[in-house]
Amino acid sequence: MTKTVDVKKGDLLYAGKAKSIYKTDNPDYTIMAFRDDVSAFNGVKLEQLQRKGQINNFFNGFIMQKLEEAGIPTHFVGFTSETESCVKKLDMLPLESVIRNRAAGSIAKRYGLKEGLEFNPPTVEFFFKSDELNDPMLNESIILTLGYATQDQLDQMKDLSLRVNTVLSEIFDKAGILLVDFKLEFGLFNGQIVLGDEFSPDGSRLWDKETLEKLDKDRFRQDLGGVVEAYEDVANRIGVPDYFA
Protein backbone atom coordinates (compact mmCIF):
# COMPACT_ATOMS: atom_id res chain seq x y z
CA MET A 1 0.00 0.00 0.00
CA THR A 2 2.68 2.45 -1.05
CA LYS A 3 0.97 5.76 -1.46
CA THR A 4 3.29 8.12 -3.29
CA VAL A 5 2.44 11.52 -4.74
CA ASP A 6 4.10 13.53 -7.47
CA VAL A 7 4.17 17.21 -6.49
CA LYS A 8 6.89 19.82 -7.00
CA LYS A 9 8.56 21.02 -3.80
CA GLY A 10 8.75 24.81 -3.49
CA ASP A 11 10.02 27.34 -0.94
CA LEU A 12 10.29 26.70 2.78
CA LEU A 13 7.17 27.99 4.54
CA TYR A 14 8.01 27.16 8.14
CA ALA A 15 10.65 25.25 10.13
CA GLY A 16 9.57 23.79 13.47
CA LYS A 17 11.68 21.88 15.98
CA ALA A 18 11.62 18.54 14.14
CA LYS A 19 9.76 19.18 10.88
CA SER A 20 9.82 21.70 8.04
CA ILE A 21 6.92 22.67 5.80
CA TYR A 22 7.40 23.54 2.12
CA LYS A 23 5.11 25.00 -0.53
CA THR A 24 4.20 22.86 -3.53
CA ASP A 25 2.95 23.62 -7.04
CA ASN A 26 -0.55 22.76 -5.77
CA PRO A 27 -1.97 25.54 -3.52
CA ASP A 28 -4.01 22.94 -1.56
CA TYR A 29 -0.93 20.86 -0.64
CA THR A 30 2.28 21.32 1.32
CA ILE A 31 5.24 19.02 1.91
CA MET A 32 6.00 18.03 5.49
CA ALA A 33 9.69 17.10 5.88
CA PHE A 34 10.67 15.02 8.92
CA ARG A 35 14.17 15.99 10.04
CA ASP A 36 16.53 13.96 12.25
CA ASP A 37 16.34 16.68 14.93
CA VAL A 38 14.93 15.76 18.31
CA SER A 39 14.13 18.28 21.02
CA ALA A 40 12.63 18.30 24.50
CA PHE A 41 11.78 20.73 27.28
CA ASN A 42 10.63 23.39 24.79
CA GLY A 43 13.84 23.21 22.75
CA VAL A 44 16.29 23.30 25.68
CA LYS A 45 17.59 19.76 24.95
CA LEU A 46 18.45 19.30 21.26
CA GLU A 47 20.13 16.50 19.32
CA GLN A 48 20.21 14.83 15.94
CA LEU A 49 19.34 11.15 15.70
CA GLN A 50 20.18 9.45 12.43
CA ARG A 51 17.23 7.81 10.62
CA LYS A 52 14.62 9.34 12.95
CA GLY A 53 13.21 11.51 10.13
CA GLN A 54 12.60 8.52 7.89
CA ILE A 55 11.17 6.35 10.67
CA ASN A 56 8.72 9.05 11.77
CA ASN A 57 7.69 9.82 8.18
CA PHE A 58 6.74 6.19 7.52
CA PHE A 59 5.29 5.78 11.04
CA ASN A 60 3.08 8.84 10.64
CA GLY A 61 1.94 7.94 7.10
CA PHE A 62 1.05 4.42 8.24
CA ILE A 63 -0.97 5.69 11.23
CA MET A 64 -2.72 8.43 9.22
CA GLN A 65 -3.82 5.85 6.62
CA LYS A 66 -5.18 3.59 9.40
CA LEU A 67 -7.13 6.54 10.80
CA GLU A 68 -8.52 7.44 7.35
CA GLU A 69 -9.63 3.80 6.95
CA ALA A 70 -11.50 4.22 10.25
CA GLY A 71 -13.28 7.32 8.91
CA ILE A 72 -11.16 9.98 10.65
CA PRO A 73 -10.28 12.84 8.27
CA THR A 74 -6.52 13.53 8.14
CA HIS A 75 -4.27 15.83 6.12
CA PHE A 76 -2.13 12.95 4.79
CA VAL A 77 -2.05 12.68 0.99
CA GLY A 78 0.97 10.45 0.32
CA PHE A 79 4.75 10.04 0.55
CA THR A 80 7.01 12.14 -1.67
CA SER A 81 10.35 10.78 -0.41
CA GLU A 82 11.75 8.67 2.41
CA THR A 83 11.61 11.65 4.78
CA GLU A 84 8.79 13.71 3.27
CA SER A 85 5.02 13.49 2.87
CA CYS A 86 2.51 15.54 0.92
CA VAL A 87 -0.24 16.87 3.17
CA LYS A 88 -3.29 19.08 2.75
CA LYS A 89 -2.61 22.70 3.62
CA LEU A 90 -4.62 23.32 6.79
CA ASP A 91 -5.38 26.48 8.74
CA MET A 92 -4.14 25.15 12.05
CA LEU A 93 -6.02 25.81 15.28
CA PRO A 94 -3.58 27.04 17.99
CA LEU A 95 -4.39 24.05 20.20
CA GLU A 96 -2.91 20.71 21.20
CA SER A 97 -5.29 17.96 22.24
CA VAL A 98 -3.83 15.42 24.69
CA ILE A 99 -5.51 12.10 25.45
CA ARG A 100 -4.28 9.95 28.33
CA ASN A 101 -5.06 6.31 29.16
CA ARG A 102 -2.57 6.22 32.04
CA ALA A 103 -0.77 8.70 34.27
CA ALA A 104 2.66 9.87 33.09
CA GLY A 105 4.46 13.13 32.41
CA SER A 106 2.80 16.41 33.30
CA ILE A 107 -0.47 14.98 34.68
CA ALA A 108 1.40 12.69 37.09
CA LYS A 109 3.44 15.66 38.29
CA ARG A 110 0.49 18.10 38.45
CA TYR A 111 -1.76 15.89 40.56
CA GLY A 112 0.87 13.74 42.33
CA LEU A 113 -0.24 10.52 40.60
CA LYS A 114 1.76 7.28 40.42
CA GLU A 115 3.13 6.76 36.90
CA GLY A 116 1.09 4.07 35.13
CA LEU A 117 -2.19 4.65 37.02
CA GLU A 118 -4.98 3.63 34.62
CA PHE A 119 -7.56 6.22 33.58
CA ASN A 120 -11.08 5.06 32.75
CA PRO A 121 -12.47 7.03 31.00
CA PRO A 122 -9.37 8.51 29.35
CA THR A 123 -8.68 12.20 30.01
CA VAL A 124 -8.95 14.92 27.37
CA GLU A 125 -6.87 18.09 27.79
CA PHE A 126 -6.21 21.11 25.61
CA PHE A 127 -3.06 23.21 25.59
CA PHE A 128 -2.36 26.54 23.89
CA LYS A 129 0.39 26.18 21.28
CA SER A 130 2.92 28.82 22.33
CA ASP A 131 6.65 28.21 22.83
CA GLU A 132 6.88 31.66 24.40
CA LEU A 133 4.32 30.76 27.08
CA ASN A 134 5.41 27.11 27.39
CA ASP A 135 2.12 25.66 26.02
CA PRO A 136 -0.19 26.51 28.97
CA MET A 137 -3.20 24.30 29.69
CA LEU A 138 -6.62 25.65 28.65
CA ASN A 139 -10.19 24.90 29.57
CA GLU A 140 -13.26 25.13 27.35
CA SER A 141 -14.34 28.49 28.73
CA ILE A 142 -10.96 30.08 28.03
CA ILE A 143 -10.81 28.53 24.51
CA LEU A 144 -14.27 29.95 23.68
CA THR A 145 -13.70 33.37 25.24
CA LEU A 146 -10.31 33.83 23.58
CA GLY A 147 -11.70 32.54 20.26
CA TYR A 148 -9.17 29.74 19.77
CA ALA A 149 -12.01 27.46 18.57
CA THR A 150 -15.80 27.45 18.41
CA GLN A 151 -17.93 25.14 20.56
CA ASP A 152 -18.64 22.98 17.51
CA GLN A 153 -14.94 22.75 16.60
CA LEU A 154 -14.09 21.90 20.20
CA ASP A 155 -16.74 19.16 20.32
CA GLN A 156 -15.45 17.72 17.05
CA MET A 157 -11.81 17.79 18.24
CA LYS A 158 -12.76 15.98 21.43
CA ASP A 159 -14.81 13.38 19.58
CA LEU A 160 -12.12 12.82 16.92
CA SER A 161 -9.34 12.61 19.56
CA LEU A 162 -11.25 9.92 21.47
CA ARG A 163 -11.94 8.04 18.22
CA VAL A 164 -8.22 8.19 17.38
CA ASN A 165 -7.56 6.76 20.85
CA THR A 166 -9.93 3.83 20.26
CA VAL A 167 -8.45 2.97 16.84
CA LEU A 168 -4.81 3.33 17.88
CA SER A 169 -5.14 1.65 21.29
CA GLU A 170 -6.28 -1.49 19.46
CA ILE A 171 -3.45 -1.35 16.89
CA PHE A 172 -0.81 -0.95 19.61
CA ASP A 173 -2.47 -3.47 21.92
CA LYS A 174 -2.29 -6.15 19.21
CA ALA A 175 1.46 -5.43 19.01
CA GLY A 176 1.90 -5.82 22.78
CA ILE A 177 2.23 -2.07 23.33
CA LEU A 178 0.31 0.25 25.69
CA LEU A 179 -0.78 3.60 24.25
CA VAL A 180 -0.25 5.65 27.43
CA ASP A 181 -0.94 9.13 26.00
CA PHE A 182 -0.56 11.22 22.88
CA LYS A 183 -0.90 14.72 21.47
CA LEU A 184 -2.85 15.70 18.35
CA GLU A 185 -3.26 18.93 16.40
CA PHE A 186 -6.17 19.86 14.16
CA GLY A 187 -6.76 22.39 11.42
CA LEU A 188 -9.39 23.48 8.93
CA PHE A 189 -9.52 22.40 5.28
CA ASN A 190 -12.42 23.95 3.34
CA GLY A 191 -14.00 24.74 6.71
CA GLN A 192 -13.84 21.12 7.94
CA ILE A 193 -11.89 19.93 11.00
CA VAL A 194 -9.05 17.65 9.87
CA LEU A 195 -6.29 15.92 11.84
CA GLY A 196 -2.93 17.56 11.05
CA ASP A 197 0.66 17.53 12.27
CA GLU A 198 1.93 14.02 13.03
CA PHE A 199 1.45 10.90 15.09
CA SER A 200 4.78 9.30 16.01
CA PRO A 201 6.72 8.23 19.13
CA ASP A 202 7.86 11.89 19.32
CA GLY A 203 4.39 12.98 20.45
CA SER A 204 3.11 9.93 22.29
CA ARG A 205 3.99 7.59 25.15
CA LEU A 206 4.24 3.93 24.20
CA TRP A 207 5.18 1.24 26.72
CA ASP A 208 5.84 -2.45 26.24
CA LYS A 209 2.79 -4.20 27.72
CA GLU A 210 4.83 -6.87 29.56
CA THR A 211 7.93 -5.02 30.75
CA LEU A 212 6.52 -1.43 30.76
CA GLU A 213 9.72 -0.39 28.97
CA LYS A 214 9.39 3.09 27.43
CA LEU A 215 9.52 3.02 23.62
CA ASP A 216 8.99 6.74 22.89
CA LYS A 217 10.57 10.19 23.27
CA ASP A 218 10.79 9.76 27.05
CA ARG A 219 13.92 7.71 26.23
CA PHE A 220 15.43 10.97 24.94
CA ARG A 221 13.96 13.19 27.69
CA GLN A 222 15.26 10.85 30.41
CA ASP A 223 18.62 9.97 28.75
CA LEU A 224 17.74 6.27 28.54
CA GLY A 225 19.51 5.76 25.17
CA GLY A 226 18.34 3.58 22.27
CA VAL A 227 15.81 6.18 21.10
CA VAL A 228 15.80 5.38 17.37
CA GLU A 229 16.03 1.63 18.08
CA ALA A 230 12.88 1.86 20.25
CA TYR A 231 10.99 3.82 17.54
CA GLU A 232 12.05 1.19 15.00
CA ASP A 233 10.95 -1.63 17.31
CA VAL A 234 7.46 -0.11 17.63
CA ALA A 235 7.27 0.49 13.85
CA ASN A 236 8.19 -3.15 13.16
CA ARG A 237 5.76 -4.48 15.73
CA ILE A 238 2.76 -2.58 14.33
CA GLY A 239 3.75 -3.49 10.74
CA VAL A 240 4.95 -0.16 9.28
CA PRO A 241 6.47 -1.09 5.89
CA ASP A 242 9.55 0.41 4.23
CA TYR A 243 7.49 2.31 1.65
CA PHE A 244 10.46 2.90 -0.67
CA ALA A 245 12.10 -0.57 -0.50
Contact set with ligand TMP (CB under 6 A) = 96, 98, 105-107, 127, 135, 181-183, 203-205
DSSP class of residue 244? T
Q: Which residues contact 192 (CB under 8 A, 6 or more apart)?
A: 73
Q: Which is nearer to ligand TMP, 37 or 96 (CB)?
A: 96
| Residue of this chain nearest to ligand TMP (CB atom) | 105
227 close to 219: Cβ distance less than 8 angstroms = yes
SS3 151: helix
- Nearest-approach distance from CB 40 to ligand TMP, in angstroms: 9
Helices (H), the chain: 52-69, 105-111, 140-146, 151-174, 218-221, 227-238
Tell me how far the alpha carbon of residue 139 is from its chain's centroid: 21
Q: Which residue, 106 or 156, is less far from ligand TMP as judged by CB? A: 106
Closest distance of CB 167 from ligand TMP, Å: 17
8 A C-beta contact, residue 81 and residue 100? no
Residue number with CB closer to ligand TMP (83 or 97): 97
* CA dihedral over 76, 79, 84, 88, signed as positive or negative: negative
d(CA 88, CA 68): 14
Nearer to ligand TMP, 66 or 205 (CB): 205
Closest approach, Cβ 157 to ligand TMP, in A, equals 15
State the nearest-atom distance from the C-beta of 199 to ligand TMP, in Å: 10
Nearer to ligand TMP, 31 or 99 (CB): 99
Quick check: helix, strand or coil at residue 75?
coil
What is the Cα–Cα distance from 50 to 52, expressed in whole angstroms? 6
User: Cβ of residue 182: shortest distance to ligand TMP, in angstroms?
Assistant: 5
